[in-house]
């Protein structure tokens, strides 16, 4: 064989070898939901028919941390140490369908149901205390529902890039539910997830962001990954079907609302465009007594991107 | 230390139970939605109102012209402004019978082009008016059966999209076709054929396709056939490499479209593609393309930077055949075979400098080989689908409006450089585009610059073709609906002088402005 021919075959063979590439995290060992990095050892409360996992530590006024869609208690890892140093009692929950909590098939996954579960959890961890509820994204909408339904249990709301303030028309809601399928979420490759995380979810990429991407990819073959994706889709439906915006003027609980100026998810970039400042303006209109700030340079994951700033808001509310 | 103690105290607290209504469990599916609509539909409505100094002079085509500006299609410029309005509708429907659980899908698509008051797609006497709209102008764009042979392998039979990619164009995202594979610079249209598409874990793609581009007389060996073998592999995060090998067998000897087909046809001259000058004679062609491409973060989402590159070699031979209509004063028949050896290199880089999708700065460089004597039988510039279709390729990433072909058109698509073959001289070009979302995902302003020169030095002229300045405002008032205002002006170089047949090159600077509306619905 001529030298050129050998070179060509070598090049093809090399290409075939690199073609065996799979994503860096897809090649790693599968992660189980009970192996996710959390702020500390997780505990279990039986709320109704659901085992709810949560982290609890500290002494002082209770701060309940409620994560967003598809997330888990570990999305507060950057915040918990700083909060514990300031004499508060931190409770970080894995919402049903998320993290290591139960992922029941026939649960309603409505915002009201999630709020009821949190109310049940509060009856366990702080039965006689009004608590500060911190909700991120979907967790913000659940926190709002909790405060609207049981204002006597909530001392202060801290809402981080909350869902529920941006409105969706009936047609937009139907469309969002049509395109939010389990098949779509299940099929996402590592590259596609990385693209989504970098463009829409995190304002600035960081080791923490990379860690959450790794966890999400390595969960793909976890035994209860399909129930998790199912719960995520049901929660999307729950957010759409359980709007809170019209009820906000009647909210009796003080609130602090923070948005990242570079949020890639709020407002919905496909349906609405505009910026988080637009949603913040709506929040100011709906919650005239609330403190509403738009933080420059931050994306959707405020608590991870600026933990000190978020902790300051939480501690101010909790005291 | 205090934190550790608090953590320990938290760990020692007991678990507890509170009552809540029981949640029934059932063994039903974890899939949502559980019922899939067997019939799916996507429509694209596009309309534009244009003012330009381009002037069609062909009575035959009545203004609806594609191809090269100042070429034999008769489009030139003058001092007046000319206006026209036109619209297009594309409808795509997929039907997947429930009985087959999605293992087979009928893919159909139609196109309605409506041009207010003049011909529709050159089908005389089919001239209609906006007032009545009585114009028959329905075209079939897609009619194919898509059958899953296995979980990873699909067979597509019939009229289907033809693209220079390992991906099935009916399933691919636009960025996967525009910034990977052949970038649609070689093939980007529809054709009848058979394709086998493989997809493995969305990381490896392969296809083998056969297209019958022209079936002239079925009892003769006078077809144009295209065989395409492509592969694409993810080699690192967001990074893909592709290999391409295509073969085109052209026995049409110029038969096919009304203008013929292939480098030796009038169509090549109209579209400004690589020519083969044989006078009254014809050729049987065997053409090959071998290419490699690479792309990183082509969605511009996995990070702020994206890169893509394409290198395509084009080889082939033309077996010259004596024409049947040789006149007495024609030069003696020369049976010397013509050879093709050419290549094209395309490099793109983009930087998303802001958060929004429109906050992008991009640079694209293009080099397509050529030679200074395109009339001889040594062909040194690439052959693309534009030598066989109108258009047959769809280079769109340049975002130029006049210097290179604008992709937002209905039936009029004219550009100074319509094809990288560029009359056989090849092209060296650079495209710089910068945009900003004034309102995120809603209002985008864009400025662009394009520069082009021939790759080879013409014997009787200069290499500099021209430069274009363009601008665009896009406003999206609701999801998937855009209003646009677009404008461009070209400053011509002297390359075209001496290449405009017998007509002098106008002194004017070609310009165009138009308002557009695009609505995608599903």
Does pTM surpass 0.80? yes
* DSSP symbols for B176-213: HHHSSTTTTSS-EEEEEEEEEEEEETTTEEEEEEEEEE
Q: In the Cβ-directed half-sphere of B154, how many Cα atoms lie within 13 Å?
A: 22
pLDDT at B504 > cutoff 70? no
d(CA B375, CA B459) in angstroms, rounded, equals 12
Of B10, B24, B32, the CB nearest to A230: B32
Tell me how far apart the terminal alpha carbons of chain B are, to the nearest angstrom. 59
Across chain A, mean pLDDT equals: 92
Cβ-defined contact of B10 to A50 (cutoff 8 Å) = no
Cβ-defined contact of B301 to A270 (cutoff 8 Å) = no
Least confident segment among B39-53, B111-125, B334-348, B349-363: B111-125
- The packing angle between helices A225-241 and A111-125, to 10°, is 110
Sequence-ordered alpha helix ranges (H) in A51-189: 80-84, 111-125, 138-149, 170-179, 182-187
Cβ-defined contact of A273 to B476 (cutoff 8 Å) = yes
Shortest CA gap A94–chain B (Å): 15
Among all residues of chain B, which has the CA nearest to that of A47? B18
Of A45, A105, A107, the CB nearest to B28: A105
Question: Within a 10 A sphere around the Cβ of B330, how many other Cβ atoms?
Answer: 12
Backbone angles phi, psi at A312, to 5 degrees: -60, -40
With b for 16 or more beta-carbon neighbours within 10 A and e for fewer, the B448-478 pattern comes to bebbbbbbbebeebebebbbbbbebebebee
Q: What is the pLDDT of residues B256-299, one digit of tens each?
A: 777 888 999 988 888 999 999 888 899 999 999 999 999 999 99
Contact between residue A38 and residue A67 where contact means Cβ atoms under 8 Å apart: no
Shortest CA gap A269–chain B (Å): 6
Cβ-defined contact of A41 to B238 (cutoff 8 Å) = no
Strand A43-47 with A50-57, pairing = antiparallel
Nearest Cα neighbor of A302 from A144, A166, A136, A158 is: A136
Among all residues of chain A, which has the CA nearest to that of B438? A274
pLDDT given for residue A15 in this prediction: 45
Put simply, whether A120 touches B (Cβ < 8 Å) is yes
pLDDT at B136 > cutoff 90? no
**Burial category of A178 from C-beta neighbours within 10 Å (exposed 0-12, middle 13-18, buried 19 and up):** exposed
Peptide bond into A244 cis (omega under 30): no
Nearest Cα neighbor of B337 from B376, B305, B395, B377 is: B377
Put simply, whether A94 touches B (Cβ < 8 Å) is no
Shortest CA gap A293–chain B (Å): 19
Q: What percent of chain B has pLDDT over 70?
A: 88
Q: Report the side by side order of strands in the sheet with A43-47.
A: A291-295, A255-260, A154-160, A131-136, A62-66, A89-93, A50-57, A43-47, B16-18
Q: A107: which chain B residues are within 8 Å (Cβ-Cβ)?
A: 23
Using pLDDT thresholds of 50, 70 and 90, give the confidence band for residue B192: very high
Task: Give the sign of the dihedral formed by CA A299, CA A301, CA A302, CA A308.
Answer: negative
Question: Within a 10 A sphere around the Cβ of B84, how many other Cβ atoms?
Answer: 20
DSSP state for residue A50 in the 8-state scheme? E
Cβ-defined contact of B25 to A106 (cutoff 8 Å) = yes
Among all residues of chain A, which has the CA nearest to that of B442? A273
- Average pLDDT of the segment spanning A27-51: 95
d(CA B258, CA B241) in angstroms, rounded, equals 39
Task: Give the sign of the dihedral formed by CA A235, CA A260, CA B307, CA B441.
Answer: positive
Question: Vertex B76, ends B75 and B81: CA angle to 5°?
Answer: 105
Q: What percent of chain B has pLDDT over 90?
A: 63
Structure tokens at A88: 């508060």
d(CA B165, CA B188) in angstroms, rounded, equals 9
Identify the CATH number of the domain defined by range B143-516: 2.40.160.100
pLDDT at A106 > cutoff 80? yes
Using pLDDT thresholds of 50, 70 and 90, give the confidence band for residue B13: very low
Nearest Cα neighbor of A308 from A88, A81, A137 is: A81
d(CA B420, CA B431) in angstroms, rounded, equals 14
Q: What is the pLDDT of residues A252-292, one digit of tens each?
A: 999 999 999 999 999 999 999 899 999 999 999 999 999 99
Sequence-ordered alpha helix ranges (H) in chain A: 3-18, 80-84, 111-125, 138-149, 170-179, 182-187, 190-196, 207-218, 225-241, 276-286, 302-305, 307-318
Nearest Cα neighbor of B285 from B210, B387, B199 is: B387
Cβ-defined contact of A105 to B297 (cutoff 8 Å) = no
The residues, any chain, with a CB within 8 Å of residue A106's CB and separated by 6 or more, are B23, B24, B25, B26, B28
d(CA A91, CA B298) in angstroms, rounded, equals 42
Of B24, B237, B439, the CB nearest to A23: B237
Shortest CA gap B100–chain A (Å): 18
Contact between residue B353 and residue B437 where contact means Cβ atoms under 8 Å apart: no
Cβ-defined contact of B18 to A120 (cutoff 8 Å) = yes
Q: What is the pLDDT of residues B405-458, one digit of tens each?
A: 999 998 889 999 999 999 999 999 999 999 999 999 999 999 999 999 999 998
| Size of the A and B interface in Cβ pairs below 8 Å | 174
Cβ-defined contact of B3 to A84 (cutoff 8 Å) = yes
- Average pLDDT of the segment spanning A227-250: 96
d(CA A277, CA A275) in angstroms, rounded, equals 5
Put simply, whether A295 touches B (Cβ < 8 Å) is no
DSSP bridge pairs for B224: B214, B250
Q: What percent of chain A has pLDDT over 70?
A: 93
Q: Which of residues 229-288 of A touch B (CB under 8 A)?
A: 229-230, 233-234, 262, 264, 269-275
Of A105, A120, A262, the CB nearest to B25: A105
* E strand or H helix that includes residue B2: helix B2-12
**Burial category of B99 from C-beta neighbours within 10 Å (exposed 0-12, middle 13-18, buried 19 and up):** exposed
* DSSP symbols for B320-364: EE--TT--TTSPPP--PPEEEEEEEEEEEEEEE-SSSTT-EEEEE
pLDDT at B124 > cutoff 90? no
Q: Which of residues 339-398 of B touch A (CB under 8 A)?
A: 355-357
Q: What is the pLDDT of residues A2-25, one digit of tens each?
A: 454 554 555 544 444 444 445 689
Q: B19: which chain A residues are within 8 Å (Cβ-Cβ)?
A: 48, 120
Across chain B, mean pLDDT equals: 88
pLDDT given for residue B117 in this prediction: 66
Query: Which one has a higher pLDDT value, A115 or B12?
Result: A115
| CATH match of A31-318 with 1.10.30.50 | no
Of B16, B25, B243, the CB nearest to A45: B16
pLDDT at B167 > cutoff 80? yes
pLDDT at B61 > cutoff 80? no
Cβ-defined contact of A183 to B303 (cutoff 8 Å) = no
Query: Which of helix, strand or coil describes residue A183?
Result: helix
Contact between residue B94 and residue B42 where contact means Cβ atoms under 8 Å apart: no
- Average pLDDT of the segment spanning A243-250: 96
Shortest CA gap B401–chain A (Å): 27
pLDDT at B180 > cutoff 60? yes
pLDDT given for residue B20 in this prediction: 57
Cβ-defined contact of A195 to B297 (cutoff 8 Å) = yes
CA torsion A313-A314-B1-B2 (nearest 10°) is 120
- Average pLDDT of the segment spanning A73-88: 97
| Interface mutation target, options A21, A53, A161, A232, chain B, most CBs of B under 10 Å | A21
Q: What is the pLDDT of residues B294-345, one digit of tens each?
A: 999 999 988 899 999 999 999 999 999 998 888 888 888 988 999 999 999 9
pLDDT at B6 > cutoff 60? no
Peptide bond into A11 cis (omega under 30): no
Put simply, whether A24 touches B (Cβ < 8 Å) is yes
Put simply, whether B439 touches A (Cβ < 8 Å) is yes
pLDDT at B14 > cutoff 50? no
d(CA B519, CA B514) in angstroms, rounded, equals 16
Q: Which residue has the tokens 């381009």?
A: B54
Contact between residue B193 and residue B214 where contact means Cβ atoms under 8 Å apart: no
The complex scores an ipTM of 0.83
Put simply, whether B12 touches A (Cβ < 8 Å) is no
Of A19, A106, A198, the CB nearest to B26: A106
Phi-psi region of B238 (alpha: psi -120 to 50; beta: other; left: phi over 0): left
pLDDT at B128 > cutoff 60? no
């Amino acid at each position: 064989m001529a030298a050129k021919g050998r070179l060509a075959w070598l090049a093809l063979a090399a290409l075939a070898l690199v073609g065996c590439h799979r994503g860096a995290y897809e090649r790693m060992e599968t992660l189980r939901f009970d192996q996710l990095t959390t702020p500390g050892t997780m505990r279990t409360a039986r709320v109704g028919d659901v085992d709810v996992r949560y982290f609890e530590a500290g002494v002082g006024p209770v701060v309940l941390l409620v994560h967003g869609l598809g997330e888990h208690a570990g999305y507060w890892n950057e915040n918990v140490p700083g909060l514990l140093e300031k004499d508060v009692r931190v409770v970080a929950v894995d919402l049903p369908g998320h993290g290591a909590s139960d992922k029941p098939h026939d649960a309603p996954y409505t915002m009201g149901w999630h709020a009821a579960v949190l109310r049940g959890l509060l009856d366990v961890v702080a039965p006689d205390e009004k608590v500060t509820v911190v909700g991120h994204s979907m967790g913000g909408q659940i926190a709002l529902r909790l405060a609207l339904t049981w204002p006597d249990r909530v001392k202060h709301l801290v809402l981080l890039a909350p869902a529920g303030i941006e409105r969706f028309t009936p047609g937009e809601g139907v469309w969002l539910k049509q395109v939010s399928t389990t098949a779509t979420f299940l099929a996402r490759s590592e590259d596609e997830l990385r693209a989504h995380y970098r463009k829409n979810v995190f304002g600035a990429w960081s080791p923490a962001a990379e860690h959450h991407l790794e966890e999400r990819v390595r969960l793909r073959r976890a035994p209860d990954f399909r129930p998790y994706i199912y719960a995520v889709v049901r929660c999307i439906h729950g957010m759409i079907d359980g709007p809170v915006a019209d009820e906000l003027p009647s909210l009796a609980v003080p609130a602090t609302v923070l948005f990242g100026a570079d949020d890639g998810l709020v407002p919905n970039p496909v349906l609405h465009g505009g910026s988080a400042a637009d949603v913040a303006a709506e929040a100011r209109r709906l919650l005239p007594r609330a403190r509403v700030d738009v933080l420059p340079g931050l994306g959707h994951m405020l608590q991870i991107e600026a933990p000190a700033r978020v902790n300051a808001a939480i501690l101010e509310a909790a005291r | 230390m205090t934190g550790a103690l608090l953590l320990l105290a938290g760990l020692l607290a007991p678990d507890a139970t509170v009552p809540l209504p029981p949640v029934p469990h059932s063994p039903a599916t974890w899939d949502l939605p559980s019922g899939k609509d067997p019939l799916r539909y996507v429509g694209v409505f596009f309309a534009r109102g244009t003012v330009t100094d381009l002037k069609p002079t062909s009575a035959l085509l009545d203004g609806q012209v594609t191809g090269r500006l100042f070429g034999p299609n008769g489009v030139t410029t003058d001092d007046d402004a000319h206006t026209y309005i036109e619209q297009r509708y594309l409808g795509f429907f997929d039907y997947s019978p429930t009985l087959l659980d999605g293992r087979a899908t009928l893919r159909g698509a139609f196109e309605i082009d409506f041009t207010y008051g003049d011909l529709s797609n050159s089908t005389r006497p089919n001239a209609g008016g906006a007032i009545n709209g009585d114009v028959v102008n329905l075209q079939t764009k897609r009619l194919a059966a898509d059958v899953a042979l296995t979980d990873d392998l699909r067979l597509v039979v019939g009229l289907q999209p033809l693209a220079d990619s390992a991906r099935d164009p009916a399933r691919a995202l636009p960025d996967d076709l525009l910034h990977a594979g052949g970038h649609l610079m070689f093939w980007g249209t529809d054709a009848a054929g058979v394709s086998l598409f493989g997809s493995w874990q969305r990381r490896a793609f392969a296809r083998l396709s056969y297209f019958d581009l022209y079936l002239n007389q079925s009892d003769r060996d006078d077809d144009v056939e295209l065989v395409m073998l492509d592969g694409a592999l993810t080699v690192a995060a967001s990074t893909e490499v592709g290999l391409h090998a295509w073969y085109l067998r052209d026995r049409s000897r110029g038969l096919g479209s009304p203008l013929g087909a292939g480098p030796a046809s009038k169509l090549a001259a109209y579209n400004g593609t690589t020519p083969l000058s044989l006078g009254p004679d014809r050729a049987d062609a065997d053409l090959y393309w071998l290419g490699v491409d690479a792309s990183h973060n082509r969605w511009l989402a996995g990070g702020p930077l994206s890169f893509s590159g394409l290198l395509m070699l084009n080889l082939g031979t033309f077996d010259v055949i004596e024409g049947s209509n040789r006149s007495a004063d024609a030069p003696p028949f020369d049976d010397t075979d013509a050879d093709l050896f050419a290549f094209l290199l395309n490099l793109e880089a983009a930087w998303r400098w802001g958060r929004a999708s429109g906050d992008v700065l991009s640079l694209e460089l293009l080099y397509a080989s050529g030679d200074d004597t395109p009339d001889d039988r040594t062909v040194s510039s690439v052959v693309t689908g534009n030598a066989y279709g109108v258009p047959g390729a769809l280079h769109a990433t340049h975002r130029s409006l006049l210097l290179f072909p604008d992709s937002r058109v209905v039936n009029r698509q004219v550009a100074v450089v319509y094809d990288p073959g560029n009359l056989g001289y090849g092209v060296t070009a650079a495209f710089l585009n910068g945009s900003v979302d004034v309102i995120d995902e809603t209002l985008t302003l864009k400025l662009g610059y394009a520069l082009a020169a021939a790759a080879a030095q013409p014997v009787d002229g200069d290499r500099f073709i021209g430069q274009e300045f363009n601008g665009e405002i896009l406003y999206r008032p609701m999801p998937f609906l855009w209003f646009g205002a677009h404008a461009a002006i070209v400053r011509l170089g002297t390359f075209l002088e001496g290449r405009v047949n017998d007509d002098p090159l106008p002194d004017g600077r070609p310009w165009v402005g138009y308002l557009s509306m695009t609505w995608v619905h599903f």
